[in-house]
Amino acid sequence: MPRDLLLLVAAVEAELAGAGEGPWRTLTLGVGAVEAALAIASLDPAEISAVWLLGSAGAYPGSGLELGEVVIGASHHLALDLARGHTPAPLPRHAAPHLPPAAAADSTLRRVATVTTGAVTTAPADAARLAALGQVEHLEAFSVARWAERARIPFAALLAISNHVGPDAHSQWQNWRTRAEHAAGATFRRIIAG
Does residue 112 sit in helix, strand or coil? strand
164 assigned to some structural domain: yes
In a domain, 23, yes or no: yes
- CB under 8 Å, gap of 24 or more: what pairs does 122-127 form? 122/165, 122/166, 122/167, 122/169, 122/170, 123/166, 123/167, 124/61, 124/166, 124/167, 126/82, 127/60, 127/61, 127/165, 127/166
How many domains is the chain partitioned into structurally? 1
Mean pLDDT of 42-63: 94
Whose CA is closest to 164, among 82, 56, 71, 77? 56
Supply the range of the domain harboring residue 107: 5-81+93-193
The pLDDT, as a whole number, for residue 54 is: 97
Query: Would residue 55 count as lying in a domain?
Result: yes
For residue 146, the model assigns a pLDDT of 95
* Average pLDDT, integer, range 84-102: 72
143-168 pLDDT, tens digit per residue, is: 999 999 999 999 999 999 999 999 99
122: CATH? 3.40.50.1580
CB 54 within 8 A of CB 9: yes
Domain assignment of residue 189, yes or no: yes
Contact predicate 121/127, CB 8 Å: yes
Question: Residue 1's pLDDT is what?
Answer: 45
State the Cα–Cα distance between residues 99 and 109, nearest whole angstrom: 13
Asked if residue 186 is part of any domain, the answer here is yes
DSSP, collapsed to helix, strand or coil, labels residue 67 as coil
User: CB–CB of 126/83 below 8 Å?
Assistant: no
Mean local confidence (pLDDT), 27-56: 94
